[in-house]
Structure 1
Amino acid sequence: MHPGQIEVNEITGYWTFLLSIDWKDPWLIALILLHVLTTSTALLTRNNTNFQVFLFLVLLSIVYFSESINEYAAANWKTFSKQQYFDDNGLFISTVFSIPILLNCMLLIGTWLYNSTQMMATLKTAQLKERARRERNANNSTAGTPTCPDKPLKSD
């Protein structure tokens, strides 16, 4: 047992579970960097909807296969980790893997909703400007015609 680590029977809640994780393990640092990179990519590509849809589908696929990933990691944890974190219930993989990915998916959906509201506002503004332009043109074209139909127009 490494100093500063908590025995499994000492874990009484989610906070103590988080404290029991050795966050200096190189693969966990790489995983955190991957999450940061994914979030940065989602934010930097906010104007590229096609790429974001692809990223969204990839992220959801990864979460879908997280149970299989957990089983594989539980069987091969000695090759990349100092400790066995991968339990049958999937608490660890859900905490450090699936939840951040799902938060990125929520970020993508939020970006899409924001872009949709901006697009609808732009469309409505354009519609109102077009209606005002048509009304102006209609008023300008009827300004030269007589308002009283009994009086004929004078012709030269």
Structure 2
Amino acid sequence: MEEVQAAVTAHLDQVSGLVQALSYELRRGIGPAADSLLAFVHAVDWTEPWLMCLMAFHASLLLAVVRLRRNANLQFFLLFLAYSGVYLAEKINIYLAEHWKSFASRNYFDRSGVFISIVWSAPLIFISIVTVVSSLITLCQLMVKWKRAELRHRVRLARDKQE
């Protein structure tokens, strides 16, 4: 019994050390990332009409996903659109880098695609996650309904056999 208790204590000490190390790394690692994000937010002119339209597009797509959460076909179509947008982000970035003077005050579109990833792909990925979670919730509810119906059917069959 003492051996088991010693093994559990050693294991708990090891887990505690890992949690403390992870906590330290998270606290140390979030600061520089937050600074970079803040610098990005301040570097972009968010009042440009095309950026406002892009944000409105993402907001309306998110609202459509939430409103149409019960319609599986439209959910899959919106999911397909979102994934297609993420897939085409590189091509969109190249095109916008060539034509930025016609709609923007600065060239935000670098070769690595950081800007397009943040303002285009990240919201689409978030919308995709919302769609998938919504679909999983609907699927779980459907499975519960199906199982309840199956149990009711079994009870009816058992009752009919007894009579």
Task: Provide the TM-score with structure 1 as the length reference.
Answer: 0.79
Structure 2 residue matching 1:127: 3-state secondary structure: helix
Q: Distance in 1 between matches of 2:121 and 2:38?
A: 18
Question: Counterpart in 1 of 2:43?
Answer: 20
Q: Is 1:55 the counterpart of 2:73 in the alignment? A: no
Q: CA deviation at 1:60?
A: 0.8
What amino acid is the match of 2:137? Answer: Y
Q: Distance in 1 between matches of 2:73 and 2:36?
A: 41
Match for 2:100 among 68, 71, 77? Answer: 77
Deviation digits for residues 90-116 of structure 1 (CA, Å, limit 9, x no counterpart)? 110011110000110111111110011
Q: Over alpha carbons, which structure has the higher Rg?
A: 1
Q: Distance in 1 between matches of 2:46 and 2:40?
A: 12
Q: Distance in 1 between matches of 2:102 and 2:108?
A: 13
Match for 1:107 among 123, 130, 136? Answer: 130
Q: Is 1:118 the counterpart of 2:141 in the alignment? A: yes
Q: Is 1:136 the counterpart of 2:159 in the alignment? A: yes
Unaligned 5+ segments in structure 1 are 1-11, 142-156
Q: Distance in 2 between matches of 1:121 and 1:13?
A: 45
Q: Percent identity?
A: 34
Deviation digits for residues 69-126 of structure 1 (CA, Å, limit 9, x no counterpart)? 0011111111111111111111100111100001101111111100110000000100
Question: Counterpart in 2 of 1:152?
Answer: none
Q: CA deviation at 1:62?
A: 1.2
Question: Counterpart in 2 of 1:34?
Answer: 57
What amino acid is the match of 2:135? Answer: W
**Whose helix fraction is larger, Structure 1's or Structure 2's?**
2
Runs of 4+ in 1 over 6 A off after TM superposition: none
Over the aligned positions, Cα root-mean-square deviation in angstroms equals: 1.1
Match for 1:93 among 116, 128, 139? Answer: 116
Question: Counterpart in 2 of 1:144?
Answer: none
Q: CA deviation at 1:14?
A: 2.6
Q: CA deviation at 1:138?
A: 1.9
What amino acid is the match of 1:92? Answer: F
Question: Counterpart in 2 of 1:5?
Answer: none
How many residues align? The count is 129
Structure 2 residue matching 1:85: 3-state secondary structure: coil
Task: Provide the TM-score with structure 2 as the length reference.
Answer: 0.76
